[in-house]
Amino acid sequence: MAAISKRFGSGGANLPPGGSGGKPTLADALRDVADDLAALKPTTVAAANAGAAYGAAEQALLNELKAKVNALAAAVLKTTKAP
């Protein structure tokens, strides 16, 4: 994980390619962010069925939560790290 100070990028520091402008470089910081986002990405919910043991309100809530988690899983990670 890159430690990014409040002065990151000030005066061009950390921005030049090849690490000539300080550590972590902008590329290193972005790659660490991509790793962090990948770790946060939820997986889709394939089956969520409360069944007859629960009432209609609970079943509706479960279906709503399933839909929202699946929407988040599809949209959360747009930043990826190239191999």
> Model pTM?
0.55
Is 1's pLDDT higher than 70? Answer: no
Structural contact between residues 32 and 39, judged by C-beta atoms closer than 8 angstroms = no
Residue 62 Cα distances to 17, 40, 51, 53, angstroms: 48, 21, 10, 13
Is 66's pLDDT higher than 80? Answer: yes
Residue range 29-59, pLDDT digits in tens: 888 888 887 787 777 777 766 667 778 888 8
Residue range 4-20, pLDDT digits in tens: 888 888 888 888 887 78
Residue indicated by tokens 């599809």: 74
> What was the pLDDT predicted at 78?
66
